[in-house]
Amino acid sequence: MRRVALVVGIVVLLGLLLVPLALGQEKKLVFGYSAPGLGDEGQWNIQKGFVDKCKELGIEVIVTDAQQSPEKQNNDIETLIARGVDAICAVPQDSAAISVAVQKCNEAGIPFFTIDRGVTAGTVVLTVKADNVKAGAIAGEVMLRLLQGKYNGIAKGKVLEIRGQPGQDVAEQRAQGFHQVLEKYPDIQIISLPGYWNTEEGFKITVDTLTAHPDLDGIYYHADLYIPGIVEGIKAVKGEFAKVGDPGHIFILGIDGNPAGLDQVEAKLADGVVVQPLRDYGALIVPIIVDYLEKGPEALPKPGTVLVEEGASWSPAMVVETAAGLEIWTNVFYVDYLGAGDPNLWGNKPRE
Amino acid sequence: MKRREFLKTVLDNSVWVILSIFLIFNAFYTPRFFTVLNLRNILIHSSILGIVVIGESLCLLSGHFDLSVESTLALAAVVGSLLVKNGMGIFTSILAMLLSGGMVGLVNGMLIRKVGLNAFVATLITYIGVRGTALGIVEGKTIWNLPPSFCFLGAGTIWLFPVQILLLIGLYGVFHLLLITTRFGRHVYLVGDNQLAARISGINVDRVVVSVFVLSGFLSAFAGLVMAGRLNSASPLFGTGMVFEAMSAAIIGGISLRGGVGSLPMALGGVLLLSSISNVLNLHAVSPYWIQTIRAIMILFAVVLDSLKRRLVRYEE
Amino acid sequence: MLLQLENVSKSFGEVRALENVSFVLNYHEIVGLVGGNGAGKSTLIKILAGVFPPDKGRIYLEGQEVVFRNPKEAHNHGIYTVHQKMEEILAPHHDVTANIFMGEEVTRPLFRSFIPFIKVLAKREMEKEAEEILSRVGIRIDSVRRPIVSYSGGQRQAVALARAIRKKPKILLLDEPTAALGVKEKFQVLRLIRRLGKEEGISIVIVSHNLEEVFEVVDRIVVLRNGQVVGECSPSQATKERVVQMIVGGE
Ligand SMILES: Nc1ncnc2c1ncn2[C@@H]1O[C@H](COP(=O)(O)OP(=O)(O)O)[C@@H](O)[C@H]1O
Ligand SMILES: [Mg+2]
């Protein structure tokens, strides 16, 4: 008799122990996040923003790092599927290669989201990215203003554009926006050369172009990593570097806003930079994922609308239906040396 | 007999002949190409790749690939810059970065001679691992704004001459002499030409191969120092893709991938030719979409010209 | 006894190349090592040359046990070899001089007076010496500066021979040194071998398939079959038929 009581007691106790676990499992969402390579500063920040927002909402996140390998990213996503997460968000390392994993995810019935880049095949619920065309266009507008300022209101001059990898969509869009704005002004000559996202290549292009065109007025770069090459390239040819505002200064501006870039702008080495709200992609997408899991497709924002949130760096963001699916294109904005120290910029936020 | 000797001299220096043709052609057809400033630019552009090519050539001459050169460059740049930024002395930092390069070379050599891995595989492992380590050390960050004395080798000038160019010339001189006038240099060639015969003749192949990789590591690290100075910054992504350029330069210079054949001055010719081609393309601001194709055609042209001439006095094998 | 091998065995995986081979080489003696293909002759030569160590067994040189961890140590004991295969001997893209001095390059101080430890190759001296040795070997090589690939098989063998005798070895090991030679060159090389053995007192082991020439130059014949020593005789006492029988086996 006593023994029965003991057994019952133990069972009840075990049951009690299990209850909170079971309850927790019911309530707590688990998201998978597949990063292409956390060695990259921008990627680290996108990931950090995503994880922080999840923590805030009490969601558990499993983060995987593909270390720049498309193949590893596929394996990572399969592992996440096997773990039975509620939703997966990825920054594709390679838009085509990831499609295999996306399709597996679709079969498993797990909703798939992406940040920064789309995928070639498979169903993605939503993609959040910066509006790179707009970023290029803003850079174009600023360059135009600077040139007009230099030449008493006349739009003329010679500008070097140091591109990323030709053919890659980010580089193409950043070029497209810039050209859209400036090609209306026939007296502005744009010299475009590919730098393959390589600082040294940026140095060489700057040196060679300054040699061919000593009267160069400005340089537009596709990524912050080119800045040291540009600055040193100008020094190598001209013997010295004229800072922003000094006579003989060559206008330098571009896109990214990572820590080194912002520092350079603050130090008046570069005129300014168009910043993407990398750190806040997560803040934008995580609540949408949660809503979607609760209510289904109605919870998604409608194409053609503009999302606005007071004080959020991604705001305003455009909702667009593209060939690749539903996308939100976040705001990008220009900062010069006055704004580059803003602690809210992702490039100025501390790592931990 | 005289004619044959002359022909042989020309052939032994075919890159220089091709380079001269290229320079003369562009002196007429590329504006601002044949100016002191631009020729100086070409030498500046050549210096970092050129230093890496010395190490790569040593390995190729000994019959081994070294894929890890570009990763070693990045690691050294990052290590040195990080130390110097954290208040370490210039010399200690430079010493540490050179040592990091030497260590990578030592690991390569050991993997090949002691573990018995194929050089391609061994250096592929370090190629991946070392770049990864560089990324890990700074977590992907770029370090910038380095002390001017640290940048001296990359960006300084002595009188009118950029230090980079002096280094390039000096290093090629020293290593060429090392290769052709010393026993060690002779052994590097012999090991590359026929490793088995070299071993059976009593040459310590282990020592030669390990030394060659350590030297290659040192040189890559040194190139990392020059690059960090040149760009006043250090990023773990420095030098990406450079190993292919280094191999192309060496091959264009006539260094055989099978080892034992070729010379450093010729490899330097290859470096200068590649740099001149890029320079011309930049000066002309060729469409960014076609630049690679045009570069490939120019390289093909150079190589075909070279192989045609080579065929004239080829000994049958 | 100059050199003695005691119960030496060597296997390559499954293949037992040598099994309990004992072998003696006396002062001023020329020994002919004969046997069919794969009998283990080259393996024996390579063990003596320090190319690889035996699996078991001992080697004595002038009564002292020696262990050769590499070819260099065999060289240091005065043992020089001409191996059978070209790819074990020569660097094809290097000139004749470089090949003759491979591994034993002559150097001189760069600045004799103030930094004597920086040494550079003494190219002139080496070329001169190379020409002298080649003339001793007696095979015409028109220039010591041309690469090996531009020479015939016989000329290459001459280069290898020149390298082996350059330092006046104590023991000379020759693995089929006449295989690629023409009639005239063969005659000359045999004469050289005899002179080295008889006049200069070098002890020689020569591997050959040509019993004619073996009978002509050697003092003693050792027969190997399937990795074992199966017989020994002196050319003055045995007939060629008897030796052939030992090589192929059976009665
Ligand atoms: N490096 C090696 N690896 C594997 N097997 C070998 C090697 N060298 C020799 N052998 C084998 O050992 C045996 C004896 O070879 P070898 O000494 O070259 O014979 P021989 O010179 O008498 O013709 C042969 O069966 C040969 O295949
Ligand atoms: Mg044999």
CATH of the domain at A145: 3.40.50.2300
| Cα angle value B197/B202/B203 (rounded, 5°) | 80
Q: Which of A44, A193, A231 sits opposite B288 (nearest CB)?
A: A193
Domain boundary, last residue among C138, C168, C198? C168
Q: Do B183 and C83 touch (CB under 8 A)?
A: no
Ligand 1 pocket test, pick from C43, C51, C248 with the greatest ligand atom count within 8 Å of Cβ, gives C43
- Give me ligand 1 centre to Cα C168, in Å: 29
Estimate the crossing angle of helix B163-181 against helix B183-193, to 10 degrees: 80
Q: State how far the Cα of C64 lies from the Cα of C46, in Å rounded to an integer.
A: 20
B51 within domain boundaries: yes
Reduced to 3 states (helix: H, G, I; strand: E, B; else coil), residue C45 is helix
Q: Are residues A103 and A115 located together in one domain of the fold?
A: yes
Tens of pLDDT, residues B143-186: 888 999 999 999 999 988 999 999 999 999 999 999 999 999 99
CA distance C72 to chain B (A): 4
Cβ-based neighbours of B115, under 8 Å, separated by 6 or more:
B122
**Across chain C, which distance is largest between two alpha carbons, in Å?**
73
The Cβ of residue C108 has, within 10 Å, a number of other Cβ atoms equal to 13
B window 56-85, beta carbon within 8 A of A: none
Tens of pLDDT, residues A33-65: 999 988 777 888 899 999 999 999 999 999 999
Ligand 1 pocket test, pick from C10, C12, C82 with the greatest ligand atom count within 8 Å of Cβ, gives C12
Ion ligand 2 residue ranges (Cβ < 5 Å): C 42, 84
Q: Which chains touch A (3 or more CB pairs under 8 A)?
A: B
Mean pLDDT of C128-154: 89
Q: State how far the Cα of C99 lies from the Cα of C161, in Å rounded to an integer.
A: 11
Q: Count CA atoms within 13 Å of residue B38 on its CB side.
A: 25
Tens of pLDDT, residues A113-170: 999 888 888 899 999 999 999 999 999 999 999 999 999 999 999 999 999 988 888 8
Give the closest residue (by CA) to ligand 1 atom 20.
C38
Tens of pLDDT, residues A271-286: 999 998 888 999 999 9
CA distance B199 to chain A (A): 41
**Among A145, A135, A307, which residue's Cα sits nearest to residue A223?**
A135
Q: State how far the Cα of A312 lies from the Cα of A94, in Å rounded to an integer.
A: 29
Query: How many domains, chain A?
Result: 2
Q: Are residues C159 and C212 located together in one domain of the fold?
A: no
Give the closest residue (by CA) to ligand 1 atom 6.
C12
CA distance B12 to chain C (A): 14
Torsion of CA A266, A269, A273, A275, to 10 degrees: -50
Q: Are residues A117 and A159 located together in one domain of the fold?
A: no
Q: Are residues A214 and A118 located together in one domain of the fold?
A: no
B155: containing domain: 15-316
Q: Which residue of B has its CA nearest to C123?
A: B181
Q: Which ligand is nearest to the CA of C224?
A: 1
Q: Are residues C163 and C198 located together in one domain of the fold?
A: no
CATH code, domain with B267: 1.10.3470
| A191 lies within 8 A of chain B by CB | yes
More confident residue, C100 or B10: C100
The per-residue pLDDT for B317 is 42
Is residue A17 predicted with pLDDT exceeding 70?
Answer: no
Ligand 1 pocket test, pick from C42, C175, C224, C225 with the greatest ligand atom count within 8 Å of Cβ, gives C42
The Cβ of residue B248 has, within 10 Å, a number of other Cβ atoms equal to 18
The per-residue pLDDT for A26 is 53
- ipTM confidence: 0.92
The per-residue pLDDT for A12 is 65
A322: containing domain: 30-124+278-331
Q: Are residues C59 and C103 located together in one domain of the fold?
A: no
B304 within domain boundaries: yes
Quote the mean pLDDT of chain C. 91
Question: Which percentage of chain A shows pLDDT scores above 90?
Answer: 66
The DSSP line for B60-107 is HHTT---TTHHHHHHHHHHHHHHHHHTT--HHHHHHHHHHHHHHHHHH
A87 within domain boundaries: yes
The Cβ of residue A85 has, within 10 Å, a number of other Cβ atoms equal to 22
- Give me ligand 2 centre to Cα C215, in Å: 19
Domain boundary, last residue among A235, A258, A275? A275
Structure token pair of residue A249: 């200064």
Which residues in chain B show pLDDT less than 50?
Answer: 315-317
Q: State how far the Cα of C114 lies from the Cα of B109, in Å rounded to an integer.
A: 35
Q: How confident is the model at residue A18 (pLDDT cuts 50, 70, 90)?
A: low
The per-residue pLDDT for A7 is 67
Q: Do B194 and C51 touch (CB under 8 A)?
A: no
Tens of pLDDT, residues A164-212: 988 888 899 999 999 999 999 999 999 999 999 999 999 999 999 999 9
Torsion of CA C218, C221, C223, C227, to 10 degrees: -70
Q: Are residues A136 and A206 located together in one domain of the fold?
A: yes
C123: containing domain: 86-168
Question: Which percentage of chain B shows pLDDT scores above 70?
Answer: 95
Q: Are residues A267 and A141 located together in one domain of the fold?
A: yes
Is residue C87 predicted with pLDDT exceeding 90?
Answer: no
The Cβ of residue A71 has, within 10 Å, a number of other Cβ atoms equal to 12
The reported pTM is: 0.87
Structure token pair of residue B82: 């990080």
B6 within domain boundaries: no
The per-residue pLDDT for A40 is 76
The per-residue pLDDT for A20 is 53
The per-residue pLDDT for B316 is 44
Is residue C250 predicted with pLDDT exceeding 90?
Answer: no
Q: Which chain A residues are within 8 Å of B48, Cβ to Cβ? A: 200
Q: How far apart are the first and last CA of chain A?
A: 58
CA distance B10 to chain C (A): 17
Q: Are residues C21 and C39 located together in one domain of the fold?
A: yes
Q: Which of B181, B203, B317 sits opposite C103 (nearest CB)?
A: B203
A15 within domain boundaries: no
Q: Which chains touch C (3 or more CB pairs under 8 A)?
A: B
Q: Are residues C69 and C18 located together in one domain of the fold?
A: yes
Beta bridge partners of A34: A64, A90
The per-residue pLDDT for A16 is 62
The per-residue pLDDT for C112 is 73
A18 within domain boundaries: no
The Cβ of residue B12 has, within 10 Å, a number of other Cβ atoms equal to 15
Tens of pLDDT, residues C159-207: 999 999 998 899 999 999 988 888 888 888 899 899 899 888 899 999 9
A9 within domain boundaries: no
Q: Are residues C152 and C40 located together in one domain of the fold?
A: no
Q: How distant, in Å, are the alpha carbons of A46, A48, A60, A85, A287 from that of A53?
A: 11, 9, 10, 17, 8
| B236 lies within 8 A of chain A by CB | yes
- Give me ligand 2 centre to Cα B307, in Å: 38
Is residue A81 predicted with pLDDT exceeding 70?
Answer: yes
Query: How many domains, chain C?
Result: 2
The per-residue pLDDT for A27 is 63
Q: Are residues A271 and A282 located together in one domain of the fold?
A: no
Residues lining ligand 1, Cβ inside 6 A: C 12, 15, 17, 35, 37-43
Mean pLDDT of C112-127: 87
Mean pLDDT of C124-151: 90
Q: Are residues A102 and A195 located together in one domain of the fold?
A: no
A vs C contact (3+ beta-carbon pairs below 8 A): no
| A225 lies within 8 A of chain B by CB | yes
A170 within domain boundaries: yes
The per-residue pLDDT for C150 is 87
B vs C contact (3+ beta-carbon pairs below 8 A): yes
Reduced to 3 states (helix: H, G, I; strand: E, B; else coil), residue A271 is coil
Q: State how far the Cα of B218 lies from the Cα of A221, in Å rounded to an integer.
A: 33
Q: How distant, in Å, are the alpha carbons of A37, A183, A235, A326 from that of B82?
A: 21, 43, 24, 43
Asked if B5 and B235 touch (Cβ cutoff 8 Å), the reply is no
Q: State how far the Cα of B202 lies from the Cα of C76, in Å rounded to an integer.
A: 10
Query: How many domains, chain B?
Result: 1
Is residue A24 predicted with pLDDT exceeding 80?
Answer: no
A10 within domain boundaries: no
Q: Do A260 and B48 touch (CB under 8 A)?
A: no
CA dihedral over A318, A321, A326, A327, signed as positive or negative = negative
Q: Are residues A240 and A326 located together in one domain of the fold?
A: no
B240 within domain boundaries: yes
Q: Are residues C233 and C195 located together in one domain of the fold?
A: yes
Asked if A173 and A136 touch (Cβ cutoff 8 Å), the reply is yes
Q: Are residues C132 and C66 located together in one domain of the fold?
A: no
